[in-house]
Amino acid sequence: MNMSKLHSAVNEYSQVGVASGVEQASPHRLIQMLMDGAIGKVAMAKGFMERNEISQKGAHISWAISIIEGLRASLDKNAGGEIADNLDDLYDYMIRRLIRSNSENNPDLLDEVVSLLRSVKSAWDELPAIANMK
């Protein structure tokens, strides 16, 4: 995991209003927090989209994209190998779907991104349990 890029992503996460606990969090917990932050921003964007609040919708989609870009930038492709490459592709896909959702005003694409983020987060949440079993 690239710690300088992770800190950059954490700074983005902190700027969107979720700074509590960031200073004491482990790198693993920081990734969980970033994923939660991205999920929250996409969910908020959907609400703004449904209420036709275009400016707020765009702002929250932009924040979600910034967080996902931070997650993507924190990948260590040397250590992560194929998994890091797959996550890089998935994060890129999520970003493209968010951009498309924003331009088309399509809430289904927001739901798709939230579902993908939850799947990745679910796998990430299992890592401590798996590491402790070894």
Residue 2, CA distances (Å) to 56, 75, 113 in order? 32, 6, 24
Domains by residue range for the chain, with CATH:
3-13+27-123 (1.20.120.340)
106-132: average pLDDT? 88
Is the pTM value of this prediction over 0.85? no
Take residue 108 and report the two structure tokens written for it.
């289904």
Contact 98, 65 (CB under 8 A): yes
User: How do residues 5-20 score in pLDDT, each as one tens digit?
Assistant: 555 555 555 554 445 5
Higher per-residue pLDDT: 24 or 5? 24
Mean pLDDT for 29-41 is 94
Question: How confident is the model over 51-86, as pLDDT tens digits?
Answer: 999 999 999 999 999 999 999 998 888 888 899 999
- Residue 51: in which H helix or E strand, if any? none
Q: In the chain, pLDDT over 70 holds for what percent of residues? A: 76
